[in-house]
Structure 1
Amino acid sequence: MYKLPWTLLLLIIAILAPTNGNLTEKVPKNQLSLSDILEYNTILFPLTTVSKAELVGEQCHARLQELRRGILQREFWALKVLDASGKQPPAFMLGDNMWLGSAQLCEAAQNGLNLDISRYVAHKMNMSLLTDKTPFDVDYRVIYAAHNSSYQTDVVYGQARQLLHIGLCVPSECNSQQLMQLVTAYFESEIFLSGDLHAIKPSLLKVKTMEFKGGDFHKMIAFKLVVVFVTYTLLMTLYAYYLRTRRLPSTNVQVKPSSFEAFVLCYDLQLNCSKILAPPDSASNTFAFLNGGRMESALIATFFHTFIMLKAIVSNPTQLFTYVSSIGNMEVAMDVFLLISGFLQTYSYLRNRSQLETIRRLNFSRSVLEIVKLTFHRFLRLAPLYYFMICITYLAMKYNDSTTVFNLSGFVTENCERYWWRNVLFIHNLYDHKDMCLAWTWFVSLEMQYTITLTVLLVVYAKHPKYAKISLLLLMIASLAYQTIVGIQVNFQISLETTFTHFVQFYAHPLVRIFPYLFGALTCWLYLEYNAQLQSFKLLTNFYCHLIHLVFMICMRPAPLGRGYTVWVETFVFVLQRCLYTMSGCWSIIAAANNRLAWHGRFLSAKIFQKAIHVSYALSLLNSLVIICLFTAGSKLVFVEPIRMFVLYIGLIIILHILSFPLTVLFEMPYRNISSLLTKRGPAKRAKSS
C-alpha cells in the first residue's frame, strides 16, 4: 500500500534528472600534468624546476634542463637517472630517514645495464632499458640533512644523530657546492613546503660524493703509524723465527738466551700460537670458569653493539629499539666483566706472599715506584693493541665513509680526528658519548683507571690493611651515593633511553662502575682469607647457591619490578638491582670455586671458552668496527627482525674470532710476554743484589 507513492516518486526523479544536466560533468577532472605529479612525488625532478643559471652555473643548469626534458619525454636514460634518485619512503613516522635510491642504477644509467641474458628467451621489457646511456656523465651523491619533525618517533639510543639520507643521481658538471645551493633552494621553495606534510623543514648539512681517494691515505698520520708498527712487528717476528731456528738444540745442552734475545723471542709466532691453541688445563685451575664468564660478557657486549650500531643504518629503528629494550638489562651486563677483572687483579696480587712482604718493607718513594711499575705492566698489556686498533679503525672508517651512503662512519672519524688524545690518555669515558672516539671502547679507559685505583689500594693494604679496607668501603659507598643523587637529579626512569641520554653518568662514569670492580676485589680477599669459614656457611649450600643464582638471573631483566613508579622509587630499584646483581655474581664465584653450582661451572669451564679467552680483548675492540663495515659495505638498508639478526649474529661471531686471532698473536701476545719477562727478571735482579 505504501510502496506505490515511493515508487512513483523515484520514477519522476529518474525522468527529470537528465534535464538538469549530466551529473558527471560536475565532478572535476584531474588536471595535474606529468610535471606536476613528478614535482610533488620525487626529489630530483623539482631540482630541475628550481634550477637557475645564476644559482648553479651555466653547465650544471643546462644538464639539469636536458635531464628534465628527457624525463618528460620518458626517455629510458632519463627515467633511470630519476629512478636511481631517492624519494620519501613510507613509515617516516616510525623513523625511516633513508631516502636513498640506488647508486648501482645511477652507474647503469651512465654505462648501461650489463646483464648476461639470452637472445632466445622472450622478455617483455624494452631492450633500450639495458642499452640506453646518459648523454653526459652522472654521479651518485648523498645529501645529509637534519630535521626536527614532531611527526616522527625519535627514541634516543645509539651514538649517531638522526639525519635524512637523500640519494641523488645528478650530472657530474654539478659540483657539491652547487648541489648544496640547489637543494637548499628546493627546501625553501613553495614546491617542497606545500608538500611538507610532516613539517620536516630539513636543514642541509653536507653533500657526499661516493669516491675513494687512495692518495690521501699516505698523508694520514694514522696510516704512517700503522705502517711503522706493522713493519716493526713483522721484523721482530722474523728475527724471532731466525733465533728459534738458530737455537734449535743440536745437543742436549740448553743455552740461556741473553736479555735481548729473550725480548725478541717474545715475538715468536710459533710460541704465541701454541699458547692460544694449547689444550687448556681446566682441572688444575680453580677459577677456569671465570674465563667463560669473561667470554660471556664479551659476547653479550657484541650482541648489544650489533643492535645499537644498526640504529643508524636500518629502515625500522623504532622496531629495533623495541627489540633492544626487551632483550635484557644493558646497564648491568658489563658488570660481570668488571667484577671478574677486579677479582683476578686482586688474586694475582694477594696470592704472591713474598711480593706482599717485599712491598711491606718498602719506604714511601719505593712504594710509589711499585705502583708505577704495576701500572706499567697493565699499560703494556692494554695499550699496544688498543692504540693499533684506534689507527686501524680510523682508517677503515675513513675508507668506509667514502664508499658507503651512510653517515655513521663519518661520524666516528670526525670524533677521532678531534678527540683521539682522550683515548690515548685513557680518559675518553669521562666525556659525553656523542664526542667519544670509538665509544664502544669506554671499558678500556675504565680498566686502566681501576687498575691504578686498585693497585694503590693493594699497596696500601700490604703496608696498612686497615686504611685500605676503609678506603675500599668508602669508594663503594660513594659509588652508590653518586648513582642515587644523579638519578634523582635527572629524573631517572628505568629505560634504555635514560641510559643513552645520560650515558656517561649512568653507564661509563668511573664512580658508577667501580662498585662491581671493588666488590670483585673484596670477594677475592674473602675467598683467600676466609674460605674455610665460608665453606661451613649456610648460604653456601646448593639450595641457597641456586637461589642466589636465581636472583642474579632476575637482575638481568630491564625492569624486574615493572615501570611507572616515581623517580625516587625507580632510582632506588635501579641502585638495588645493581647491588644485588654484583653481590649475587660474586657469591656465585665463591660457590663455583667451592664446587657448588657445578653445572654452571662446568659450562663456563668448557674448552671452547678457555681457548677463546685469549682473543677476547681483540674481539671486544674489533666488534663494532666489523659490525659497521659489514652492514654498511653494500650501501643497502637493513630491515631488522629477530630470526635474521640471530643468524647474522652467529656469522658475526665467527668472523670476529677469525680476525681476532692474528691481531692477538701479532699485536697482543708479544707484550703479554714482555710483561711476564719483566716480572720474572725483577725478583732475579733483587736476589742478585742481595
Structure 2
Amino acid sequence: MRTIAAVIVAAHLAIVVVEATVVPRSEPVASAETSLARLNFLVGVAQLGMLRENGTRCGRELETLLKAVAAKEFWSLKVLDSFGVPPKSFSWGNNHWFGPQWQCNDLNRPYVVATSSEFLRTYAFDPFNVTSPFRMRLTMVYMRFSTPHFIDLRLPYEPFIHIGLCLPQSCSSAALRRYTDEYFLRGEFTMQRDFKLQMQSVAARVPSIGLDFLQQTGTLISIIVLTTLVVLMVLAEIVYRSKAKLKLQQMLHTKAPHNTVMIDGVHITNVPIESAYESTAVKSSTVEEILLCFRFTENWQRALKADRMNSNSNFVGAIAGVRTVICLWVSTFHVYYYSVFALSNAPMLFVAMGSFLNQPLLEAIFFVDVFFVISALLLVYNFLSSESRLKEVRQNDFVQNSKLFGKLLLQRYLRLTPMLITTMLLSDVFYDLTNTYSPFYLGVNSGYYCKQ
C-alpha cells in the first residue's frame, strides 16, 4: 500500500511539475503574439491576411514579415517603428495613424549611405541600407469612427481615421480593407477598447499618380491653358524680334550722311532721322498686337517699372504689379487653406499654420485689405488724372453718368474673371492631386465631389 501511495504521490508531483514548467513556457509565446497584435494594428491585420491568403503570394510574404518580426530582423522593425501604432493626442483630433510614405518606400529603395570600416566593425549589419526581401507598399484605409471620448472643435470636421499599412505590394488594397474591418470589428486593439471606438472602413487606395489624374477635366484644362500661354509667349518673342530685325533692315537701306540715331539700344549711322522714326512706327496688325501682349520680358519690366508707361499715361505700373502679385497671393492662399481645412485633422492644421515655411503663404489673409486699398487708389488715381473722362462726366447728365458708372463697374468685375477662372482650376487640380497622390482622404465637405 505504501508503494502504491508513493507512486500516486510521485505521479501527482510530476503533473504539478509539468503544469508549472511546460504550460508557462507556451503561454508567454502565445501571449506575446497576442499582445503585439493588440498594440500594433499592422501586425493584427497581417495575421488575418496570412490566415485568409493561405497559399497565395500575399499570404507567403505576410508570413515572412511576421516571422521577421518574431526574429526581430531590422527591416521588419523599421516597419513597426513607423506604422501600426496611433500617434499621440487622438482626443484632440490627431487621426493620421500612419508614417511618411518615404519610410515605406525606403525598404524598397534605401537611401544609400556610405559607412566607414569602423562603423562596419561596430555593427554586424548596415542599418541604413537594409531592405526587405520583397517590395513593400503603403496602402491607406480610411475608417469612419464614433467615440464618446472626443473633443468637438465646432469645425467642418469629418470623423475619419487614416490607417496606413506598409505591407507587401502583392496584397491588394481591397483585401487589406476587408482584413482591417475584420480586425477592428473584433475590438482587440487596446486603444480601441480604451476610447470605445466603433470603426468601419469607407475607402482604401494606394497613393500614387496615374493616368486617372491626367485624365481629369481640371488637369486637362490646366495643361491646355499652360501650353497655350507658353506658345503665345514664344510667338510674341518671335514677332518682336522679327519686327525689330525688319526695322533695322529698313533703316540700313535708307542712307543719308552725317545722321546717327539709336533705336532699341543700337547706334545706326547714315540714317535720316525722319525716316528712322517713321520706320520704327510701322503699324502692326491686330494679330501681332495681341501676340505682343504676351511678351514676358516686356510685361515683367512693366510690372516693376515705377514711372509712367509713356508720356500719355499716368498709370503707375509698380503699384499695379504689386496689386497683381497680392491677388495671386490671396487666391493661392484660399486654394491651399480651404482645401486642407476640410481634412479630419483640424488641430494639426493650426500647428501647420504656425510653421515658418508656411508663413509667407498664410499671411496673405492680412493683405486682402491691402489689395482693396491699392485697387481703390489706382482707380481714383486713373479716374482723376484723365482730363477727357472728367470732361465727359461734367458734360453728361445723371442718366448718362449712371450708365457710365455701370459700365466701369462691369469692367472692374470682368477684369477679375481670369483670376477667378485660374482659382477654380487650381482648386480642381489641387483636389484631384490630394485625392490621388496624397494619403489624405477628402470627404463630402471638402468640395471634391461638387463636379460629380
Q: Which amino acid aligns with 1:404?
A: S
Per the alignment, residue 92 of structure 2 pairs with 94
Q: Which amino acid aligns with 2:171?
A: C
3-state SS of 1:169 partner: strand
Q: Which amino acid aligns with 2:348?
A: P
- The yes-or-no answer on 1:405 pairing with 2:439 is yes
Per the alignment, residue 252 of structure 1 pairs with 277
Q: TM-score, normalised by structure 2?
A: 0.65
Structure 1: distance between partners of 2:209 and 2:133:
25
The gaps in structure 1 that reach 5 residues or longer are 1-27, 421-690
- Superposition pairs of residues 119-130 of structure 1, within 5 angstroms: 119-121=117-119, 124-127=122-125, 129=127
Per the alignment, residue 143 of structure 1 pairs with 141
- The yes-or-no answer on 1:262 pairing with 2:259 is no
- Superposition pairs of residues 111-126 of structure 1, within 5 angstroms: 111=109, 114-121=112-119, 124-126=122-124
Structure 1: distance between partners of 2:139 and 2:390:
66
Structure 2: distance between partners of 1:111 and 1:243:
49
Per the alignment, residue 275 of structure 1 pairs with 302
Structure 1: distance between partners of 2:299 and 2:111:
51
- The yes-or-no answer on 1:196 pairing with 2:193 is yes
In the alignment, is the contact (CA less than 8 A) between 1:240 and 1:264 conserved in 2?
Answer: yes
Structure 2: distance between partners of 1:307 and 1:392:
12
Structure 1: distance between partners of 2:232 and 2:78:
55
In the alignment, is the contact (CA less than 8 A) between 2:140 and 2:439 conserved in 1?
Answer: yes
In the alignment, is the contact (CA less than 8 A) between 1:187 and 1:193 conserved in 2?
Answer: no
In the alignment, is the contact (CA less than 8 A) between 2:331 and 2:423 conserved in 1?
Answer: no
| Selected match of 1:317 from 348, 353, 376 | 348
- Superposition pairs of residues 605-644 of structure 1, within 5 angstroms: none
Going from structure 1 to structure 2, the CA distance change for 1:265 and 1:104 (only over 3 Å counts) comes to closer
3-state SS of 1:109 partner: coil
Deviations 1:181-239 (A, max 9, x none): 111111111313785212232332222313221x3355333343234333433333333
Per the alignment, residue 387 of structure 1 pairs with 421
Structure 2: distance between partners of 1:155 and 1:224:
38
- Superposition pairs of residues 11-90 of structure 1, within 5 angstroms: 33-51=31-49, 58-90=56-88
- The yes-or-no answer on 1:375 pairing with 2:407 is no
Structure 2: distance between partners of 1:383 and 1:412:
27
Q: TM-score, normalised by structure 1?
A: 0.45
Structure 2: distance between partners of 1:331 and 1:399:
24
Structure 1: distance between partners of 2:320 and 2:181:
57
Per the alignment, residue 186 of structure 1 pairs with 183
- The yes-or-no answer on 1:353 pairing with 2:390 is yes
Structure 1: distance between partners of 2:203 and 2:351:
27
Going from structure 1 to structure 2, the CA distance change for 1:33 and 1:184 (only over 3 Å counts) comes to same
Deviations 1:237-290 (A, max 9, x none): 333334433444531112343434333322233331221121257xx889x999
3-state SS of 1:205 partner: strand
In the alignment, is the contact (CA less than 8 A) between 1:81 and 1:106 conserved in 2?
Answer: yes
Structure 1: distance between partners of 2:327 and 2:235:
37
In the alignment, is the contact (CA less than 8 A) between 1:210 and 1:403 conserved in 2?
Answer: yes
Identity of aligned residues (%): 18
Per the alignment, residue 20 of structure 2 pairs with none
Q: Which amino acid aligns with 2:181?
A: T
In the alignment, is the contact (CA less than 8 A) between 1:98 and 1:166 conserved in 2?
Answer: yes
Higher strand share: 2
The two structures, once aligned, show a CA RMSD in angstroms of 5.0
The aligned length equals 383
Q: Which has the higher contact order (CA 8 A, sep 6+)?
A: 1
Structure 2: distance between partners of 1:59 and 1:360:
85
3-state SS of 2:165 partner: strand
Higher helix share: 1
| Selected match of 2:206 from 201, 204, 209 | 209
Q: Which amino acid aligns with 1:383?
A: T
3-state SS of 2:221 partner: helix
Displacement of 1:127: 0.5
| Selected match of 2:107 from 82, 106, 109 | 109
- The yes-or-no answer on 1:166 pairing with 2:163 is yes
- Superposition pairs of residues 399-438 of structure 1, within 5 angstroms: 399=433, 401-407=435-441, 410=442, 415-416=447-448, 418-419=450-451
| Selected match of 1:234 from 230, 235, 244 | 230
3-state SS of 1:88 partner: coil
Structure 2: distance between partners of 1:258 and 1:386:
30
| Selected match of 1:153 from 141, 151, 154 | 151
Going from structure 1 to structure 2, the CA distance change for 1:356 and 1:146 (only over 3 Å counts) comes to farther
Displacement of 1:363: 8.2
Structure 1: distance between partners of 2:334 and 2:409:
33
The gaps in structure 2 that reach 5 residues or longer are 1-23, 252-275, 309-313
Displacement of 1:386: 3.7
Deviations 1:95-139 (A, max 9, x none): 322221343332333456632212233565441645654343321
Structure 1: distance between partners of 2:396 and 2:444:
44
In the alignment, is the contact (CA less than 8 A) between 1:56 and 1:181 conserved in 2?
Answer: no
Deviations 1:118-170 (A, max 9, x none): 2233565441645654343321112222333342334244x664532222111
Deviations 1:463-501 (A, max 9, x none): xxxxxxxxxxxxxxxxxxxxxxxxxxxxxxxxxxxxxxx
In the alignment, is the contact (CA less than 8 A) between 2:219 and 2:429 conserved in 1?
Answer: yes
3-state SS of 1:40 partner: helix
In the alignment, is the contact (CA less than 8 A) between 2:139 and 2:206 conserved in 1?
Answer: yes
Deviations 1:77-105 (A, max 9, x none): 43333334231122222332222134333
Structure 1: distance between partners of 2:422 and 2:327:
23
3-state SS of 1:147 partner: strand
In the alignment, is the contact (CA less than 8 A) between 1:81 and 1:169 conserved in 2?
Answer: yes
Q: Which amino acid aligns with 1:192?
A: F
Structure 2: distance between partners of 1:146 and 1:57:
32
In the alignment, is the contact (CA less than 8 A) between 2:113 and 2:129 conserved in 1?
Answer: no
